[in-house]
Every structure is written in structure tokens, then in C-alpha cells.
Amino acid sequence: MEYKLIGISCLILIILGLSWIKDGEKMEPPIKKRTLIDFVTIGIFWGVFEFLDKSGSNTYLNEISLVINGSLLFFFARMVQLICQINPMIQELVKYLKSKGIDTEEDK
């Protein structure tokens, strides 16, 4: 489970970097506030893990695994979304699909 938490921590920091690359100074919330939010989020994940790891209780192991796996999936999907928004090749593909009459989620 530690490796999954390391993965979540890395994904959160990668998303922070990609958001800054995408929006720059227009980032909402501003970079300083967003950095604080992201580090607090990482700290909460690790704090809960350490508390449950040191308690030795396996009562909520399935629920914790579900939350960790769901978080990994969410942060990975968000990273892919940001990469698609930044990458010019993906943007050209979206323009091509729109020209062919295929609906994309950005239209909705």
C-alpha cells in the first residue's frame, strides 16, 4: 500500500506541475495556495495510512484499499486529461473530429 501512496503523491505533484504549465499565472487557485492544498492532501493520505498502519487493526482494510485504488484512478485520469489539454496533437485531433461532425465532451 505504501507504493500506491507514493504513486498518489507523485500524481498529485505531476498534476500540480501540468496545471501550472497549462494556466501559468492565471491558475485558479493561485500556485501558492494550490501547492499548500496539494501538500495538505498528500499529508492527509499519509497521516491516515500511518495511523491505521500503527493501530494494527485490519477492520477497514477493504474500505481503505477501495479509497486508495479509487484515488489512484482519479488522479491518473486527471493527469491524462491535463496532458490531452496541453498536447497540440490531441487538440488537432479534436478539431479534426469536430470538422467531421463527431461530438466531443467539450461541446456539451
Q: What three-state secondary structure class fits 20?
A: helix
Residue type, 36: L
Using the predicted structure, report yes or no on whether residue 58 has a pLDDT greater than 90: no
User: Model pTM?
Assistant: 0.79
* Segment holding 66, helix H or strand E: helix 61-86
| 43: confidence class by pLDDT, cuts 50, 70, 90 | very high
Count helices and strands (H / E) in the chain.
4, 0
Domain coordinates in residue numbering, the chain: 2-107
What pLDDT does 106 receive? 57
Percent of the chain with pLDDT over 70: 95
Check pLDDT > 90 for residue 13: yes
- What pLDDT is attached to residue 52? 85
Provide the phi-psi class of 101: left if phi over 0, else alpha when psi is between -120 and 50, else beta.
Answer: left
